[in-house]
Structure 1
Amino acid sequence: MGLSTSERKLRIRRRIRKVSFGTEARPRLSVFRSNKEIYAQVIDDNAGKTLASASSRDKAIDVKGTKTEIANAVGKAIAEKAKKAGVETVSFDRGGNLYHGRVKALAEGAREGGLKF
């Protein structure tokens, strides 16, 4: 019997976190995707602090359209907030999701905003 979807995603998330670790010089850009919303955080794992965060629920992100377009706007917002916090390069943590659709749109938005990863 195979793994359920949630067990498979958890296994992938743990495998990614072994490799992707946020430091002060290169923090981790973590993505969480639910069915309705998408969230992004820039995290310094050594200090255990969130340096910047953005989500589709923020009032500042007032984009009407598809969930993919909203994810792109969240990527641009997280890039802007990360640059204000002094972050230029990040390590991308897709959170067990496939690099496709909304996760890819968020990453491309962050790249357009000036983040390097």
Structure 2
Amino acid sequence: MVAAQLVERPPAQPAGEDSPWHTAAACRRDEVGLFFAPSKEPTAARLSREERAKQVCARCPVLLDCREHALAQPEPYGVWGGLTAAERRVVLARRRRRDVELCEPVRVPGARGRIAG
């Protein structure tokens, strides 16, 4: 088993109006391999790694910005904003379902063919 390489990155600075949100991300100080799966990773190892990544995300000051970025892209891999790719797919499906429901006309009970609104 090969140990994951650490990537040197500058320490995060608080994001100001002129700097992007990711400059303040807690993950900038952590191992890249923590957030992305190596090929053929065993399930138990993946779950453990993802839990450690989520712990980093939990203390991140830009967690919601990161999550929204990953949902808007959508990012297909890795832990972003405290969510795995599978969890993000669930969030996106719920949002699509909610958007469809909000756009559907409301039927008035007992009124034939009448739509409220």
TM-score under structure 2 normalisation?
Answer: 0.29
The one of the two structures with greater contact order (alpha-carbon pairs below 8 A, sep at least 6) is: 1
More helix by percentage: 2
Larger radius of gyration: 2
